[in-house]
Copies of this chain bind each other. A is one copy, B any other.
Amino acid sequence: MREEYQADLIEVSRLLVTMAEAVRAALRKATTALLTADLKAAEAVMERDAEVDAIYEQVEAKVADTIARQAPVAGDLRRVITALHISADLERMGDLAEHVAKTASRRHPSPAVPAELRPTFKQMAEVADLMAEKITALLQNPDVNAAAELEKQDDAIDDLERHLFKIMLDDDWPYGAETAIDGALLGRFYERYADHAVNIGEHVIYLITGEPVSSQS
């Protein structure tokens, strides 16, 4: 029984790592689509989001099956329930990468983001990518310190988002309302992607320490 339970947990972790790798690849490709007006890249991200959703449903089914068959309690139960939260965050990160890709595709062949904003989006995407890399590692190797570093990276994303707004709200902003709206929504997609990565870090901390997860807003 115990051995079976461990095998179940390993299977759930394997699914979560696959999801984390997929949503990381999705945001990288969506950023390429955004910054180089690459329609093919945008379409690839939109097509592949269904794969992330499918793994999400596999995690759900596997967790329910594990609880039903193994009747875990205490820490064991906590681990499988935490897996559900993590998969929900990952599923949403996939959606947000898809939103970035959709915006790029909607504006194609024009670039969705004017030259003035591109360096900031490039930086946001780089930090978000490091965060996705970190959660992939964390899922394989839980580590309280690494989880706390996600908070700092999230602060960097928030600063970059503020910088975006500063550029768009300048009196000299030449692009009008439409481009500003796209810029603000895109900024929010990256910022929310990073928030979900922080949530995952908090879930991992909860898993290790048993300290409750603070609710993000």
Q: List A residues at the B interface (Cβ < 8 Å).
A: 49, 53, 56-57, 60, 63-64, 67-68, 71, 73-74, 77-78, 81, 84-85, 88, 91, 95, 98-99, 165, 168-169, 173, 175-178, 180-181, 183-185, 188, 212, 215-217
Q: From B173, B175, B185, give the contact of A184 (CB < 8 A).
A: B185
Q: Which residues of B contact A178 (CB under 8 A)?
A: 169, 180
Could you tell me if A64 and B77 are in contact, using CB atoms closer than 8 angstroms? yes
Known pairs A57-B212, A85-B88 / 15 extra A-B pairs, C-beta < 8 Å: A49-B217, A53-B215, A56-B215, A60-B81, A63-B81, A64-B77, A64-B78, A67-B81, A68-B73, A68-B77, A95-B217, A169-B178, A173-B177, A176-B177, A184-B185
Tell me whether chain A's interface is mostly helix, strand or loop, or mixed: helix
Residue of B nearest to A50 (CB): B215
**A78 contacts which chain B residues (CB < 8 A)?**
64
Complexed CA–CA distance, A77 and B56 (Å): 18
Nearest first, the 3 closest Cβ-Cβ pairs linking A and B are A177-B180, A53-B215, A181-B184
Say how far A94's CB is from chain B's closest CB, in angstroms: 8
Give complex CA distance A217, B48 in Å: 13
| Of B85, B99, B175, B180, the contact of A181 (CB 8 Å cutoff) | B180
Cα A191 to Cα B168 in complex, Å, equals 23
Pairs across A and B, CB under 8 Å, 14 listed: A49-B217, A53-B215, A57-B212, A67-B77, A68-B77, A95-B217, A165-B181, A168-B181, A169-B177, A169-B181, A178-B180, A180-B181, A181-B181, A185-B188
